[in-house]
Amino acid sequence: MKPDILMIEDEPNIAEAVRFILTRDGWRLALHDNGLGGIEMIRELRPRLLILDLMLPNRSGGEILSELRADSDPALAGTLVLMLTARGQTGEAMGQADAVMAKPFANDELRAQVRRMLG
Amino acid sequence: MSPRSVTHILTGTRIRERRLALSRRQADIARAAGISPAYLNLIEHNRRPVGEDLIARLAEVLEVPADELASGREEARMAALREAAARAPSRGGQAPELEQAPELLARFPGWAGALIATSRRADALERQLVNLSDRMTQDPYLLTTLHEVLSAVTSLRSTASILVEEGELPGEWRERFHANLAEDSLRLSTTAQALVAYLDSFETEGGIFTPQEEVEAWMAADMPPIEEAADLASDAARALARDHLTRTETERAALPDTALAGAAEESDPLRIATRLRVPLDLVLRRLAALRPPGFEEAGLLVCDGSGALILRRPAPGFPLPRPGDACPLWPLYQALAAPQTAISAQVRTPQGREFDTISYATRSQPEGIGGPVLTQAQMLILPAKGAADGSGPVIGIGASCRICPRSGCPARREPSILSPRHDARGL
């Protein structure tokens, strides 16, 4: 079944905690742990929401987001994106995200943000 | 007031001060120096210029070294005083009386010197603070370590919240989260210790910035004139910068820009060297300095026979450690073992960036046949043009062991602060 959310996060314990709380809330979640192959995964799964870590091995979240926004498929390019960053990080890519959340975050804060974005 | 008139004021005032200190009359000094008392009076009141010959005669009569009265030294000290005045905080307090600076310099040279020295010290400290601030935001070791801390804290917070706030959990999940807590606590502890040790090292080194780092910052700023370069705070750095300029000019004369730019259509530096009939090591250094089309993002590392890096021009995306540290797997060090042989190798950083490198070492005996044999190696670094051609493996390299996540590295000399799980991610 198609997931609601795709999370690209290289820290497995963070990904596991997020998967637990969002799955408990009833969302279907898929995980990917690397910058490489991220775009292909988005194209294949077509999630409603992409939770994207900024600092990823091999390819940054910023690069992935820029490529996503430039995609020729408007539906894919318009995928909702929640960017996870360190507080104070800035960059062009941050402006392309629909929402930005600083690490460390409270679980309830993440839940509320996802609810706001997915309705 | 023009610099020239400032010079006159200073010189005249100093002549007068010196004469009064010796309790000598104007007429006596004037006669001994071969001028009229009226002319000396005009000089002492800074109404006439004083030539070098007259300065020398007056200095002899007044029993002081000529440079004590000479204009250049005073001019420099006057400029330093004005600079100190300009740097003085202006909020609320009385502004320095600039028009009386010549009198201050002449009558109280000790106090003037103390003021100049204090101002220069404040200036150096301010520059160091700015550099430190830059470093805190750009140092790859700090950035990597802080990212590790943040990741561990984020995981701990989310996991602990689940255990406390989510009510009953299936046994399997509870055990998994407890294991994650233990793992992240250990990681946080290790990383925090490494971070504290790193910050402590700033103090034990007596300052963060080596002359080499100052020169690197100066080179990154397109090498402004040495006297005006804010990055060159120490005498040692300025001496290194002068040496670099001299060497650069010598090498430019040996391989002019136009000749190199014309030959750089050929992408193989060895072919360029053959075509131009110049040594390959010169071509590598000149390509990194000129960065002609096709070599715009070239970086260069140069080391001596001990492996110590003596020149670092970073290539975008190529991780450089702090001075004194390096990755032993850089092809640069292979070249040391095989002088006069060009070594071409493709390398991959832990972040996945790939680079083509050409390394070459030379040997020399500058003190003659009985002198020591000196070896120097250089490695030109270029963004990889494509996938490896299959002629050799892509070498996995890093910046330094402490922040390198590669597992099972045969050259590792100290543990990485990055977690073992991070190691095993097939980097």
Place of tokens 């190529």: B318
What is the nearest CA distance from B158 to chain A, expressed in angstroms?
6
**Residue A71 in this model has a pLDDT that exceeds 50:** yes
Question: Counting Cβ atoms within 10 Å, is residue B112 exposed (0-12), middle (13-18) or buried (19+)?
Answer: buried
How far is residue B280's CA from residue B360's CA, in Å, rounded to a whole number? 8
Q: Are residues B109 and B171 in the same domain?
A: no
Neighbours of B235 (CB within 10 A): 9
DSSP H stretches of helix in B34-165 = 37-44, 52-62, 66-69, 71-87, 101-107, 109-138, 140-165
With beta carbons less than 8 A apart as the criterion, state whether A47 and A30 touch.
Answer: yes
How far is residue B157's CA from residue B256's CA, in Å, rounded to a whole number? 60
Tell whether B88 lies on the interface with A, counting CB pairs under 8 A.
no
Question: Counting Cβ atoms within 10 Å, is residue A29 exposed (0-12), middle (13-18) or buried (19+)?
Answer: buried
With beta carbons less than 8 A apart as the criterion, state whether A7 and A51 touch.
Answer: yes
| Phi and psi angles of residue A83, each rounded to the nearest 5 degrees, phi first | -95, 135
Mutate to test the interface with A, among B144, B145, B149, B155 (most CBs of A within 10 A): B155
Task: Identify the closest residue of chain A to B419 by CA–CA distance.
Answer: A11
CATH at residue B30: 1.10.260.40
Q: Which pLDDT does position B208 carry in this prediction?
A: 46
| Phi and psi angles of residue B374, each rounded to the nearest 5 degrees, phi first | -105, 135
Residue B130 within any structural domain of the chain: no
pLDDT in tens, B181-236: 999 998 898 888 878 777 766 655 444 467 777 788 788 778 888 877 777 777 77
Sorted by where each starts, the structural domains of chain A and their CATH numbers stand as: 5-118 (3.40.50.2300)
One-letter amino acid at A39 equals I
Terminus-to-terminus CA distance in chain B, angstroms?
Answer: 66
Q: Are residues B72 and B190 in the same domain?
A: no
Tell whether B161 lies on the interface with A, counting CB pairs under 8 A.
yes
Q: Are residues B65 and B170 in the same domain?
A: no
Q: Which pLDDT does position A21 carry in this prediction?
A: 95
Interior/surface letters B337-347, b for 16+ CB within 10 angstroms, e for the rest:
eebeebbbbbb
Test A103 with B154 for CB contact under 8 angstroms: yes
Give, as one character, the DSSP assignment of residue B95: P
How high is the mean pLDDT in each 10-residue block of chain B (427 residues)?
43 83 88 87 78 84 79 66 75 75 82 82 74 69 83 93 91 93 90 78 54 80 80 79 93 94 90 94 94 92 92 85 83 94 92 90 93 95 75 82 81 71 37
How far is residue B131's CA from residue B139's CA, in Å, rounded to a whole number? 11
What is the nearest CA distance from B139 to chain A, expressed in angstroms?
15
CATH at residue B412: 3.30.450
Rounded to 10 degrees, the C-alpha dihedral B311/B317/B320/B322 comes to 110
Test B147 with A24 for CB contact under 8 angstroms: no
pLDDT in tens, A6-30: 999 999 999 999 999 999 999 999 9
pTM over 0.95: no
Domain that holds residue B349: 297-427
Give the total number of structural domains in chain B: 3
324-353 of B, contacting A, C-beta below 8 A: 350-352
Q: Are residues B48 and B174 in the same domain?
A: no
In A, which residues are within 8 Å of B157 by CB distance? 104-106
Residue B290 within any structural domain of the chain: no
Test B147 with A10 for CB contact under 8 angstroms: no
Q: Which pLDDT does position B49 carry in this prediction?
A: 72
